[in-house]
C-alpha cells in the first residue's frame, strides 16, 4: 500500500479534524499549502539504492514507512495490525539535528478484530531523537513505538524486524521475517499518481511472515500471519482535482501479490494503477484500463458513507474477486481520519489483504 | 335576589366563643332597598361582611341569585364581589395613588363591565365632573364618599352593600349623599342593603330590618 | 390578562405618587448591586488572569516533571521519557529583560504540547509552522505589548543582546509572558539542550515508572487545584469581597426601609382591592412581580455603576497586585456574561430578602382591618428584646469563633459577627440612652424630646445601623491603615540602609562593577546581596544573603533576637527568619531548621525574627558567604553601596555612564523608598475608596429614612404646634433630635471601630499576610470621623427640616380636621 497519504491529504486531513493534536500543529500543516518549491522532484528513471533509501529523504516533502499485517490466532480468529511512521518537512533543507530541523513526524498504530478496532497516534519533532529513522542499523521510531532491524538484518529483504506499538487500550509486538527481496512498485519504483505528472518513489516488502502477540483491552493473544511494508516518498501533491483514494494490498494464492489503487477525481473519473507481483518477485505494472474496482456495499461511520465491500476484476490476469472487510468499522479516528483494515476476498482467487480508503 | 337562611357566626375571644349572629333569615328582593339597623355589637356589620364574602359563616346559607355565597372559596368570592357586588364603607377606602377618574372606573374595569355612558351619568349625578383629575387626599369627606359610591355602582352590581356610608359626614351632607344613593340605586335597578344606626336614614329606604343580639327582631 | 394588568397598574401607581420613595428603593438597590458587582468584577478579572497564567502552557494546572533542585535539566531526559512512552512535552522558562522590563520567556514545543495544557487556540491562529520555523514568532499579549511600548511585528533585543523573533499579538495570552518555540528559547537564553520542566499529557498508555527512566534526575509535581497566585492573593480578594459584602448589606438596609414603607402604605390599598373583588393571590403575585421588575431595573443600572466603579478601581487593584504579588492583571476590564447574570440575580435576591418581612405581612393581611390603634410602644419593646437577644447570640458566636477559629475566614467571621451584633444591639442601646434621658428631666418639652426620639427609633434604626457599620468600619480600617503606614515607614527606613542599590546585568558585569567601585574613594562600602529560592515546608521560600556589616547590625529592624544574633549569622550557622515564615512554620528563637539545598541539607538556627512587610513569600536571611557555599548558583548581581549623601548623585551618574544601567537596575534609596510606599498606598487606595463608598451609602440610608419619616411625623408635631411652638422651633427640635441620635450612634461606633481595627490587626492581617502590627490609636482621626458622621446626619436631615419649616399652617391643621 502506498501513496496512501500524499502531502495534501495528510495536510488537509490534519487541518480539518485536528482532534488530539495541538491545534497549533494542524494549523501548521494547513499553512503548508501545495507549493512544492524548493523540494526535490520525483523523476522517472532514478534507481533506488539500499540501505540508503530505507532512511529518510529530507529533500522530499513527505515520506512514510507503512506496515500492515493479516494475522490469526491459534483458533483461527482473524486480526489485523497497522504500524505507520510519517515524515513531513515544513521547509526544504537537509538539516537533521536540533530543534531547527524542519521535520515533523507522525505515528499511527491500530489493531483490528472482527468486533473491535483500536487506533492511536502520536507526533514529534525531528532532530532531537524523539522520532526518526536510521537506515543502518535499520531503526524507525516515534516515542515508544518502533520498527527495528534484528541480528542478521538484510537491506534487500528488510528483515528480520521487530515491530512494537502500544496505546491505552491495545498493544502489539511482532517479529517479521522475509526470504524474498523487496519489490519496486510502479515503473521500477516510479509510481505515477495522475496523468499530469504527480508521482512518488515507491517500493514494498510484501513477503513478510509475522509472529508475535497482540493485546486488545489487556488480553495477550499469540498470533501469526503475513505482513506487507510500503515505503514511499514524494514532494508533489496529488493533482488538485483528486479527492481521495481506495487502496488494496492483497496476498494472492501461490505467494503472488497484488497492489491496486484508485484515485478519485472530482469529475467522477478515476485514475487506476497497480502492480502484479509474481511468486518469484517480478513486479509487473498493470495498465489503467485493465483494472476494474466497484464498491458493492457501504458502511456509515463518523457521518460518512464508506464503501467497505468491493468487486475487483483484472480480466487480463483472470482475476474476479469480491472483498469483504474483517470489521466494517475499521475507522482510524486519528487527527487525519480514514478507513484502514484487513479484508478477505473470494472468487477466482481467495485470500486476505488490507484496504485503505481516504477522502470520504 | 338575596336570600339569607339560618346564618350563624361566632368569634373566638380570649375566654369564650361570642355568638355574633345566631340564625339570621333575610330576603332582599331585586330593586329593593333595605336598612339594617341595630345597636353596636348587634351583628349588623358582621352580617354585611358575610354577605359580601369578606368573612366566612359558621353555618347557614347566603344565596345571591342562584349563587350560594357560603359555598364559594376565597377566589370565587373575590370574583363574585368584583362582578356582582358594590361595597361602600364608612372609611372611604379609595385608592390614594389613583385619581378620582381612575378610582371611579376601577372596579368596573376590573370586572370588565365598564360602561362609558353609565359612568358619565354617575359622574354627573354625583357632581364629580370638576374633580376627576384630583387625588383622594385633595377631596372633602363628602366628595370622597361620593367617589366611593360611584365606584361601587359603576360596575352595575346586582346588590349594593353599604356600611354606615355617611358615618363620617355631617347631617346635611349625609342626607344629600343618601338621596343620591337612593336615586342611583333605583336607576340601576340593583338591590341595596345598608347598615346604619340612624333611624332617620333608615326611614329613607323601602324597608327596615332591626337586629338585636344576633337575631332579627 | 387585562384585569391583571389593571391590578399591576394600580399597585404601581403608588410609586408614581411617591417618587421619592421609589428613588430611595432604586438608590438602595443600585448601590447594593453596584458595589457588590464592582468588587466581583475586580475579583473575577484578577482570577481570570491568574487562570490564564496558570493554564497557559502548563502552569500549575498540569502535572509536570521538574528537577529536584528546581534548575534546568538535560533535554535528553525528555527524549528518554518519550521513548519510554511518557506523553511529556518540554518547556524552558526564564525571565528576560526587554526594554528595561522583566518578562517571562516561555519556550514551548507545540507538537507534543498536551492539548489540555496548551491553551491551544492561542497558537493555532498564529500558525504552527510560522511559530516553529525560522525566524519563528514571539507570542505576546496586548497588555504586555502596550506595557513594553512595542508594536506587533517588532523584534526587540533582550538584555543579553539576543534578538527576539517578530512579536505576534495573541489576545488570549496571559500578560507578562512571551512565548516562543522551545528551540528558539534555547538559543535566546543560551541554554542549548536545556529544559525547565516537562508537562505530562493526559494520554494513557503503558509506561515504566519514572525512576527507571530518569533515576533521581526528575520529580513529579502534581497539579494544584489552586495556583500560587491564587493562594497568595486570596487574602487581598477576601478583603475586597468583605467590603463588597458590607456595602451590599448597607445598601439592603435602604432597600428594606423603602420597601417596608412602600408596603405599609399600600396595605389599605390592598384591602380595598380585595373588597373590590381582587382575589388574595393576585396582588401578592403582583407585588412579588413588581419587586422583581424593580430589582431587575435597578440591578441593570447597578451593574453599569458597578462596571464604572470596577473600571475606576482596576488600575489601583492591578498596581497593588503587581506590586505585592507580581500578579499581572490586564488593565482592560473584560467581563463574562455570568457576571451580568449574577449581578441581576444578586439584585433580585437582595430585594426579595429585604422585602421578605413586608411580603409576608401582605400575604397574611387579614381582609378586615383590626380596628385597634397601633400599640407602638408594646411592639417596640418586643422588637427591641428580640434584637437584643439576637445581638447577644451573635456576640456569643463571635467569641466562640475567636476562641476556636484559627484562620482568615474565622477572622472575618469574628469581624462580621462583631459588626452584625453591634448593629443589632444599637437600637437597644439607643433606647436605653434615650430612656435615661427621658427619666432625667421633668421639663415637659425635654421629656417629649426624649420620648419622641424613642418613638422615632423604629423608623430610624436601620439607617442608624447602617451609619454605625459604616463608621465602625471606617474607624477600623483607618486605624489599621494608619498603624500600618507608620510602622511601614519606620521599617523601610531601617531596611533601606544603603544609599544606592544596583543590579548588574550579568555576573561578569557585577565583578567588573565591584572592581571599579573598589577604586573609587567616594564609596564607603559595597554590600553585596544574593538571593535564592528553595522549597521549604511545601512552599517556595527565599534565602537572602547579606554580608556581615555594621550597616545591618545597626539598622536592620529585628522584632525579636537572641543576644548574639548577628554573630551567629556571620558564622554561617544562624539565620534570621521573616515574621510571616516564623508564624507559618511556627519557628521560634534558637530552633534548628534544615534547609534543602542542591549541595545537601543545611542546618541553621533561628537567631532572630524580623518584619518583612509586603513579601508574600517566607524568607530566611543568612550570611552571603554561607548562602553561596550551599547554593552556589545564586546570582550575585545585586549590591548596595554606602555613600556620603553629597556623593550620591555624582556616583550614580558615573555608574550609569560607565555600565549603562538604567532606572530599573540602578536606584538611590529615596526612589526605592518612594516606590515601596507607592505600592502600599495604592493597595490601601482601593480600601479607602470602598470605605468612602460605604460611608456615602450609609448617608443616603439616613437621608431616605428621615425623608420617609418626616411624612408620618405630622400627627406627632401638629399638637406641639397647636400648643404654641413655632414651625421654626419645631424644625430646630427635629434637627436636634436627629443630630443627637446620630451623635450617640457615632460615639458608639468609635469603640466598635477600634475593636474592628484590633480584629484586623491581630487576626485578619496575621492570617492574611503573616505579620502583626503594633496597635496605635489616632485620636485626631477619630474626631474627624465623628465630625464627618455629624455632617452626614446634618446634610441628611436638612431636606426634611426645610420641608417642615416651609410647611403651610393649613397642612398642620388638617391633622386635626381629618384624622384617620
Domains and CATH numbers, chain A: 7-357 (2.40.370.10)
Residue B12 has pLDDT above 50, yes or no: yes
pLDDT-above-90 percentage for chain A: 68
Cβ-based neighbour number of residue C268 at 10 Å:
16
Residues with Cβ < 8 Å from B124, sequence gap 6 or more?
none
Question: Nearest CA of chain B to the CA of C49: how many Å?
Answer: 52
Q: Is A28 within 8 Å of chain C by CB? A: yes
- B-proximal residues of C, 269-288, CB under 8 Å: 269, 271-281
Are B110 and C367 in contact (CB < 8 Å)?
A: no
Question: In residues, how long is chain C?
Answer: 820
Per the CB < 8 A criterion, the answer to whether C575 and C605 are in contact is yes
Cα–Cα distance for residue pair C755/A274, rounded to 1 Å:
92
Strand partners, C263: none
Per the CB < 8 A criterion, the answer to whether C71 and C190 are in contact is no
Query: Nearest-CA residue of chain B relative to C16?
Result: B97
Are B96 and C269 in contact (CB < 8 Å)?
A: yes
Are C818 and B111 in contact (CB < 8 Å)?
A: no
Chains A and B touch (3+ CB pairs under 8 A): no
Q: What is the radius of gyration, based on Cα positions, of chain A?
A: 19
Per the CB < 8 A criterion, the answer to whether C138 and C325 are in contact is no
Chain C positions touching B98 (Cβ under 8 A) are: 10, 13
Per the CB < 8 A criterion, the answer to whether C632 and C543 are in contact is no
Chain A positions touching C85 (Cβ under 8 A) are: 143-144, 166
Question: Nearest CA of chain C to the CA of A121: how many Å?
Answer: 10
Are A27 and C182 in contact (CB < 8 Å)?
A: no
Cβ-based neighbour number of residue A229 at 10 Å:
26
Per the CB < 8 A criterion, the answer to whether C735 and C801 are in contact is yes
Are A120 and C78 in contact (CB < 8 Å)?
A: no
Are C3 and B112 in contact (CB < 8 Å)?
A: yes
Cα–Cα distance for residue pair C632/C634, rounded to 1 Å:
6
For residue C808, with 0-12 CB atoms within 10 Å meaning exposed, 13-18 middle and 19 or more buried, which class applies?
Answer: exposed
Are C112 and A31 in contact (CB < 8 Å)?
A: no
Question: Nearest CA of chain C to the CA of B5: how many Å?
Answer: 23
Most C CBs within 10 Å, among B76, B97, B103, B136, to test the C interface: B97
- Provide the CA C572 distance to its chain's centre, in angstroms: 40
- B-proximal residues of C, 330-369, CB under 8 Å: 367-368
**Backbone angles phi and psi of A220, in degrees to 5:** -70, 130
Range name among A145-159, B76-90, C80-94 with the lowest pLDDT average: B76-90
| Per-residue model confidence (pLDDT) at position C124 | 45
Q: Is A167 within 8 Å of chain C by CB? A: yes
Q: Which long-range contacts (CB under 8 A, 24 or more apart) does B122-125 make?
A: B122/B150, B122/B153, B122/B154, B122/B184, B123/B150, B125/B180, B125/B183, B125/B184
Most C CBs within 10 Å, among A18, A20, A28, A29, to test the C interface: A28
Strand partners, A175: A162, A211
- Number of structural domains in chain B: 1
Model confidence over C260-314: pLDDT tens digits?
Answer: 777 777 877 887 887 787 877 777 888 888 889 889 999 999 999 988 888 888 8
Per the CB < 8 A criterion, the answer to whether C180 and C103 are in contact is no
| Per-residue model confidence (pLDDT) at position A346 | 96
Residue A12 has pLDDT above 60, yes or no: no
Query: Nearest-CA residue of chain A relative to C183?
Result: A99
Burial B28-52 (b: 16+ CB within 10 A, else e): beeebbbbbbbeeebbbbbbbbbbb
Query: Nearest-CA residue of chain C relative to A93?
Result: C133
Cβ-based neighbour number of residue C205 at 10 Å:
18
Are A90 and C109 in contact (CB < 8 Å)?
A: no
Query: Nearest CB to B78: which of C16, C18, C277?
Result: C277
| Per-residue model confidence (pLDDT) at position C379 | 67
Cβ-based neighbour number of residue C378 at 10 Å:
9
Are C206 and A166 in contact (CB < 8 Å)?
A: yes
Burial C407-419 (b: 16+ CB within 10 A, else e): ebebbbbbbbbbb
Query: Nearest-CA residue of chain A relative to C75?
Result: A128
For residue C193, with 0-12 CB atoms within 10 Å meaning exposed, 13-18 middle and 19 or more buried, which class applies?
Answer: middle
| Per-residue model confidence (pLDDT) at position B94 | 82
The helix or strand, by DSSP H or E, that contains position C662, with its residue range, turns out to be none
Chain A positions touching C184 (Cβ under 8 A) are: 99
The helix or strand, by DSSP H or E, that contains position A305, with its residue range, turns out to be strand A304-314
Most C CBs within 10 Å, among A143, A147, A166, A168, to test the C interface: A143
- Provide the CA C646 distance to its chain's centre, in angstroms: 42
Model confidence over B116-146: pLDDT tens digits?
Answer: 998 999 899 888 999 998 888 888 888 888 8
N- to C-terminal Cα separation, chain A: 18
Per the CB < 8 A criterion, the answer to whether C774 and C611 are in contact is no
Chain C positions touching B72 (Cβ under 8 A) are: none
The helix or strand, by DSSP H or E, that contains position C751, with its residue range, turns out to be helix C727-759
Q: Residues of chain B whose C-beta is under 8 A from some C-beta in C?
A: 49, 52, 54-55, 74-75, 78-83, 85, 87, 89, 93-98, 102, 106-107, 109-112, 135, 141, 151
Residues with Cβ < 8 Å from C547, sequence gap 6 or more?
C527, C528, C623, C624, C625
N- to C-terminal Cα separation, chain C: 35
Cα–Cα distance for residue pair B103/B120, rounded to 1 Å:
14
Among A161-175, B162-176, C662-676, name the most confident range.
A161-175
Give the CATH number of the domain where residue B80 resides.
Answer: 3.40.50.300
Residue A34 has pLDDT above 90, yes or no: no
Model confidence over A106-147: pLDDT tens digits?
Answer: 999 999 999 999 999 999 999 999 999 999 999 999 999 999
Q: What is the radius of gyration, based on Cα positions, of chain C?
A: 33
Per the CB < 8 A criterion, the answer to whether A351 and A251 are in contact is yes
Q: Is C17 within 8 Å of chain B by CB? A: yes
Q: Is C256 helix (H, G, I), strand (E, B) or coil?
A: helix
Are B110 and C3 in contact (CB < 8 Å)?
A: yes
Q: Residues of chain C whose C-beta is under 8 A from some C-beta in A?
A: 75-76, 78-79, 82-85, 109-113, 115, 118, 120-121, 123-134, 181-184, 186, 203-207
Are C6 and B110 in contact (CB < 8 Å)?
A: yes
Question: Nearest CA of chain A to the CA of C74: how many Å?
Answer: 12
Residue B159 has pLDDT above 80, yes or no: yes
| Per-residue model confidence (pLDDT) at position A319 | 95
Question: pLDDT below 50 — which residues of chain C?
Answer: 58, 120-126, 370-374, 818-820
Q: Is A343 within 8 Å of chain C by CB? A: no
Chain C positions touching A97 (Cβ under 8 A) are: none
Are C280 and B74 in contact (CB < 8 Å)?
A: yes
Range of the domain at B148: 2-216
Q: Is B127 helix (H, G, I), strand (E, B) or coil?
A: coil
Are B75 and C272 in contact (CB < 8 Å)?
A: no
Are A144 and C204 in contact (CB < 8 Å)?
A: no
Cα distances from C116 to residues A301, A336, C54, in angstroms, run: 27, 19, 12
Query: Nearest-CA residue of chain C relative to A146?
Result: C83
Chain B positions touching C280 (Cβ under 8 A) are: 74-75, 78
Cα distances from C481 to residues C676, C682, C781, C785, in angstroms, run: 15, 12, 11, 15
Please give the sequence-ordered ranges of beta strands (E in DSSP) within C225-305, or none if there are none. Answer: none
Higher pLDDT, C1 or B171: B171
Handedness of CA C114, C140, A98, A100 (dihedral sign): positive
Are B74 and C279 in contact (CB < 8 Å)?
A: yes
| Per-residue model confidence (pLDDT) at position B14 | 61
- B-proximal residues of C, 240-269, CB under 8 Å: 268-269
Q: In what order do the strands lie in the sheet with C88-98?
A: C167-169, C138-140, C177-181, C101-108, C88-98, C197-200, C64-66, C219-221
Chains B and C touch (3+ CB pairs under 8 A): yes
Q: Average pLDDT, stretch A297-315?
A: 94
Single pTM value for the model = 0.59
Q: Which chains touch B (3 or more CB pairs under 8 A)?
A: C
Report the greatest alpha carbon distance in chain B. Answer: 54
Amino acid at each position: 500500500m502506498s501513496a496512501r497519504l500524499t502531502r495534501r491529504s495528510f495536510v488537509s486531513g490534519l487541518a480539518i479534524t485536528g482532534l488530539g493534536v495541538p491545534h497549533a500543529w494542524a494549523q501548521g500543516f494547513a499553512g503548508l499549502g501545495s507549493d512544492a518549491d524548493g523540494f526535490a522532484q520525483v523523476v522517472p528513471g532514478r534507481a533506488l539504492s539500499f540501505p540508503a533509501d530505507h532512511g529518510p529523504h529530507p529533500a522530499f516533502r513527505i515520506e512514510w514507512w507503512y506496515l500492515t499485517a493479516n494475522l490469526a490466532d491459534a483458533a483461527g480468529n482473524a486480526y489485523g495490525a497497522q504500524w505507520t511512521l510519517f515524515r513531513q518537512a515544513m521547509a526544504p533543507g537537509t538539516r537533521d539535528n536540533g530543534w531547527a530541523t524542519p521535520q515533523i513526524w507522525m505515528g499511527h498504530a491500530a489493531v483490528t478484530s472482527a468486533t473491535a478496532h483500536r487506533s492511536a497516534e502520536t507526533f514529534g519533532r525531528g532532530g532531537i531523537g524523539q522520532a526518526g529513522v536510521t537506515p543502518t542499523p535499520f531503526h524507525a521510531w516515534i516515542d515508544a513505538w518502533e520498527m527495528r532491524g534484528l541480528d542478521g538484518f538484510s537491506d534487500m529483504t528488510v528483515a528480520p524486524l521487530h515491530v512494537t506499538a502500544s496505546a491505552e487500550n491495545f498493544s502489539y509486538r511482532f517479529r517479521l521475517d522475509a526470504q524474498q527481496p523487496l519489490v519496486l512498485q510502479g515503473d521500477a519504483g516510479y509510481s505515477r499518481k495522475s496523468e499530469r505528472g504527480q508521482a512518488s518513489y515507491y517500493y514494498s516488502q510484501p513477503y513478510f511472515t509475522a509472529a508475535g502477540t497482540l493485546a486488545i483491552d489487556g488480553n495477550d493473544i499469540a498470533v501469526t500471519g503475513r505482513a506487507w511494508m510500503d515505503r514511499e516518498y514524494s514532494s508533489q501533491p496529488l493533482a488538485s482535482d483528486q479527492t481521495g483514494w481506495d487502496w488494496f494490498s492483497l496476498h494472492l494464492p501461490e505467494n503472488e501479490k497484488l497492489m491496486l489503487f484508485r484515485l478519485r477525481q472530482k469529475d467522477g473519473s478515476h485514475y487506476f494503477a497497480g502492480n502484479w507481483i509474481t511468486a518469484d518477485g517480478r513486479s509487473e505494472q498493470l495498465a489503467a484500463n485493465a483494472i476494474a474496482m466497484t464498491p458493492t456495499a457501504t458502511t456509515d461511520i463518523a457521518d460518512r458513507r464508506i464503501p467497505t465491500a468491493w468487486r475487483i476484476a483484472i480480466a487480463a490476469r483472470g482475476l474476479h474477486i469480491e472483498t469483504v472487510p474483517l470489521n466494517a468499522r475499521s475507522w482510524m479516528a486519528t487527527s487525519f481520519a480514514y478507513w484502514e483494515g484487513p479484508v478477505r476476498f473470494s472468487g477466482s482467487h481467495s485470500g486476505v489483504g488490507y484496504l485503505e480508503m481516504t477522502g470520504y | 335576589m338575596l336570600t339569607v337562611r339560618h346564618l350563624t357566626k361566632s368569634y373566638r375571644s380570649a375566654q369564650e366563643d361570642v355568638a355574633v349572629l345566631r340564625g339570621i333569615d333575610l330576603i332582599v328582593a331585586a330593586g329593593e332597598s333595605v336598612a339594617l339597623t341595630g345597636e353596636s355589637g348587634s351583628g349588623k356589620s358582621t352580617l354585611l361582611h358575610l354577605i359580601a364574602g369578606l368573612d366566612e359563616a359558621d353555618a347557614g346559607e347566603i344565596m345571591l341569585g342562584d349563587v350560594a355565597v357560603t359555598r364559594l372559596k376565597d377566589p370565587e368570592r373575590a370574583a363574585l364581589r368584583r362582578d356582582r357586588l358594590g361595597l361602600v364603607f364608612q372609611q372611604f377606602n379609595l385608592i390614594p395613588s389613583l385619581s378620582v377618574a381612575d378610582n371611579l372606573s376601577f372596579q368596573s374595569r376590573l370586572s370588565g363591565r365598564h360602561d362609558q355612558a353609565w359612568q358619565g351619568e354617575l359622574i354627573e349625578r354625583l357632581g364629580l365632573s370638576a374633580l376627576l383629575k384630583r387625588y383622594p387626599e385633595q377631596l372633602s369627606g363628602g366628595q370622597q364618599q361620593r367617589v366611593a359610591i360611584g365606584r361601587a355602582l359603576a360596575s352595575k352590581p346586582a346588590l349594593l352593600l353599604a356600611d354606615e356610608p355617611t358615618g363620617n359626614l355631617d347631617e346635611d351632607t349625609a342626607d344629600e349623599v343618601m338621596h343620591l344613593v337612593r336615586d342611583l340605586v333605583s336607576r340601576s335597578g340593583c338591590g341595596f342593603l345598608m347598615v346604619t344606626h340612624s333611624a332617620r336614614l333608615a326611614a329613607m329606604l323601602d324597608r327596615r330590618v332591626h337586629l338585636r343580639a344576633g337575631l332579627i327582631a | 390578562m387585562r384585569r391583571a394588568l389593571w391590578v399591576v397598574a394600580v399597585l404601581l401607581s403608588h410609586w408614581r405618587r411617591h417618587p421619592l420613595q421609589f428613588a430611595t428603593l432604586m438608590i438602595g438597590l443600585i448601590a447594593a448591586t453596584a458595589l457588590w458587582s464592582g468588587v466581583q468584577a475586580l475579583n473575577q478579572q484578577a482570577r481570570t488572569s491568574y487562570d490564564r497564567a496558570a493554564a497557559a502552557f502548563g502552569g500549575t494546572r498540569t502535572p509536570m516533571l521538574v528537577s529536584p533542585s528546581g534548575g534546568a535539566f538535560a533535554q535528553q531526559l525528555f527524549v528518554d521519557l518519550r521513548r519510554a512512552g511518557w506523553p511529556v512535552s518540554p518547556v524552558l522558562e526564564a525571565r528576560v529583560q526587554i526594554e528595561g522590563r522583566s518578562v517571562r520567556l516561555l519556550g514551548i514545543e507545540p507538537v507534543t504540547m498536551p492539548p489540555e495544557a496548551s491553551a491551544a487556540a492561542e497558537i493555532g491562529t498564529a500558525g504552527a509552522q510560522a511559530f516553529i520555523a525560522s525566524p519563528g514568532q514571539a507570542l505576546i499579549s496586548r497588555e504586555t505589548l502596550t506595557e513594553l511600548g512595542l508594536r506587533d511585528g517588532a523584534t526587540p533585543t533582550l538584555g543579553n543582546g539576543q534578538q527576539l523573533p517578530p512579536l505576534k499579538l495573541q489576545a488570549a495570552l496571559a500578560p507578562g509572558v512571551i512565548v516562543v518555540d522551545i528551540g528558539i528559547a534555547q538559543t535566546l537564553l543560551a541554554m542549548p539542550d536545556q529544559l525547565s520542566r516537562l508537562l505530562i499529557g493526559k494520554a494513557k498508555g503503558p509506561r515504566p515508572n519514572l525512576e527507571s527512566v530518569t533515576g533521581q534526575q526528575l520529580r513529579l509535581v502534581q497539579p494544584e487545584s489552586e495556583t500560587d497566585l491564587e493562594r497568595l492573593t486570596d487574602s487581598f480578594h477576601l478583603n475586597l469581597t468583605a467590603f463588597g459584602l458590607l456595602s451590599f448589606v448597607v445598601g439592603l438596609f435602604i432597600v428594606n426601609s423603602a420597601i417596608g414603607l412602600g408596603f405599609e402604605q399600600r396595605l389599605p390599598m390592598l384591602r380595598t382591592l380585595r373588597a373590590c373583588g381582587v382575589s388574595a393571590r393576585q396582588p401578592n403575585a403582583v407585588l412579588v412581580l413588581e419587586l422583581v421588575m424593580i430589582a431587575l431595573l435597578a440591578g441593570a443600572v447597578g451593574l453599569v455603576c458597578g462596571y464604572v466603579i470596577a473600571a475606576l478601581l482596576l488600575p489601583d487593584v492591578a498596581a497593588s497586585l503587581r506590586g505585592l504579588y507580581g500578579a499581572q492583571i490586564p488593565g482592560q476590564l473584560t467581563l463574562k456574561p455570568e457576571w451580568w447574570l449574577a449581578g441581576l440575580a444578586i439584585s433580585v435576591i437582595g430585594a426579595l430578602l429585604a422585602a421578605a418581612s413586608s411580603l409576608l405581612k401582605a400575604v397574611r393581611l387579614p381582609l378586615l382591618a383590626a380596628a385597634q390603634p397601633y400599640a407602638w410602644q408594646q411592639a417596640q419593646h418586643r422588637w427591641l428584646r428580640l434584637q437584643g437577644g439576637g445581638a447577644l447570640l451573635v456576640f456569643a458566636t463571635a467569641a466562640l469563633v475567636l476562641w476556636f477559629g484559627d484562620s482568615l475566614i474565622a477572622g472575618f467571621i469574628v469581624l462580621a459577627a462583631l459588626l452584625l451584633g453591634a448593629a443589632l444591639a444599637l437600637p437597644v442601646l439607643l433606647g436605653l440612652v434615650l430612656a435615661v434621658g427621658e427619666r432625667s428631666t421633668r421639663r415637659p418639652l425635654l421629656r417629649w424630646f426624649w420620648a419622641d426620639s424613642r418613638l422615632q427609633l423604629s423608623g430610624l434604626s436601620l439607617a442608624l445601623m447602617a451609619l454605625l457599620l459604616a463608621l465602625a468600619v471606617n474607624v477600623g480600617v483607618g486605624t489599621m491603615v494608619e498603624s500600618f503606614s507608620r510602622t511601614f515607614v519606620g521599617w523601610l527606613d531601617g531596611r533601606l540602609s544603603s544609599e544606592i542599590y544596583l543590579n548588574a546585568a550579568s555576573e561578569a558585569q557585577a565583578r567588573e562593577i565591584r572592581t571599579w567601585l573598589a577604586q573609587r574613594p567616594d564609596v564607603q562600602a559595597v554590600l553585596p546581596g544574593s538571593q535564592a529560592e528553595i522549597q521549604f515546608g511545601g512552599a517556595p521560600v527565599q534565602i537572602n544573603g547579606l554580608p556581615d556589616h555594621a550597616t545591618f547590625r545597626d539598622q536592620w529592624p529585628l522584632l525579636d533576637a537572641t543576644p548574639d544574633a548577628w554573630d551567629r549569622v556571620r558564622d554561617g550557622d544562624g539565620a534570621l527568619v521573616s515574621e510571616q515564615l516564623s508564624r507559618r512554620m511556627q519557628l521560634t528563637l534558637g530552633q534548628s531548621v534544615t534547609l534543602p539545598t542542591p549541595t545537601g541539607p543545611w542546618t541553621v538556627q533561628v537567631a532572630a525574627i524580623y518584619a518583612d512587610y509586603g513579601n508574600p513569600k517566607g524568607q530566611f536571611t543568612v550570611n552571603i558567604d554561607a548562602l553561596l557555599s550551599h547554593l552556589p548558583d545564586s546570582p550575585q548581581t545585586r549590591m548596595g553601596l554606602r555613600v556620603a549623601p553629597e556623593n550620591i548623585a555624582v556616583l550614580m551618574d558615573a555608574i550609569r555612564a560607565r555600565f549603562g544601567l538604567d532606572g530599573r537596575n540602578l536606584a538611590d534609596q529615596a526612589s526605592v523608598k518612594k516606590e515601596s510606599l507607592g505600592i502600599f498606598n495604592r493597595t490601601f487606595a482601593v480600601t479607602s475608596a470602598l470605605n468612602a463608598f460605604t460611608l456615602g451609602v450609609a448617608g443616603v440610608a439616613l437621608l431616605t429614612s428621615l425623608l420617609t419619616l418626616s411624612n408620618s411625623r405630622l400627627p406627632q408635631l401638629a399638637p406641639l404646634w397647636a400648643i404654641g411652638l413655632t414651625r421654626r422651633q419645631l424644625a430646630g427640635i427635629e434637627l436636634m433630635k436627629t443630630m443627637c441620635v446620630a451623635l450617640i450612634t457615632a460615639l458608639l461606633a468609635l469603640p466598635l471601630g477600634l475593636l474592628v481595627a484590633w480584629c484586623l490587626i491581630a487576626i485578619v492581617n496575621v492570617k492574611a499576610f503573616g505579620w502583626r502590627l503594633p496597635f496605635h490609636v489616632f485620636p485626631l482621626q477619630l474626631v474627624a470621623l465623628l465630625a464627618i458622621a455629624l455632617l452626614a446626619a446634618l446634610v441628611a436631615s436638612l431636606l426634611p427640616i426645610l420641608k417642615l419649616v416651609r410647611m403651610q399652617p393649613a397642612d398642620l391643621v388638617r391633622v386635626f380636621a381629618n384624622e384617620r
